[in-house]
Structure 1
């Protein structure tokens, strides 16, 4: 599976920054650009367990013009860096056919950003929990 163009753009932009402070600011900016999740959707069924921050992911499946079911999701967090990580995951997954989304090696793709070496253990575990949740939701929908 090749990464989505939006994710490739994030990878390319990451390479432009010389230090991790700039990369963190970029990830936070990606999170700021996301639409906030309506409070009515911040319910236990959408909450991601295993994150130090409050995290909600709301999946949706849409039918593309080609008749193929495609993954999308909305998300939010009370931590700006985590909102940014949700935006990165959205760029990786959103719009993929369900069958492809279920086979994404998200941790492998995310390793291209070098995040694992620069996130705290709690944030890293939270990111893995979000990836697991997206995978579970995708497999259930497929």
Structure 2
């Protein structure tokens, strides 16, 4: 990573990166927002934090920041809002995990062959939600299409 200056990551930037990465992986913003909303309702902070730790522990986490798709302007708004009744705030949890990763490991070193994308966090949430049977058939079908390469 060329710069020695640590980026400061805010929740709004994390949510935009998650949405942009989802769109790059052929998921609509609506579908990504639905996954994160369901996660905020059905998953605890402990479960969500453990999922995100697992993704961040993969050897390609430097790629998350290399693409710089986490940057936002003052005009951007937080598009992944919490429902009135929620068990956790996944975007806030991911923001805290990303800040800790940067603080402890900056500059992040690239690992050959390992690429990590922001969409992997949505994907890990979706897999747990599918196992808990709280996902719509539409999202299950989309995941199946993606896994089959359709």
Q: TM-score, normalised by structure 2?
A: 0.32
Greater strand fraction, Structure 1 or Structure 2: 1
The answer to which structure, 1 or 2, has the higher relative contact order (CA under 8 A, 6+ apart) is 2
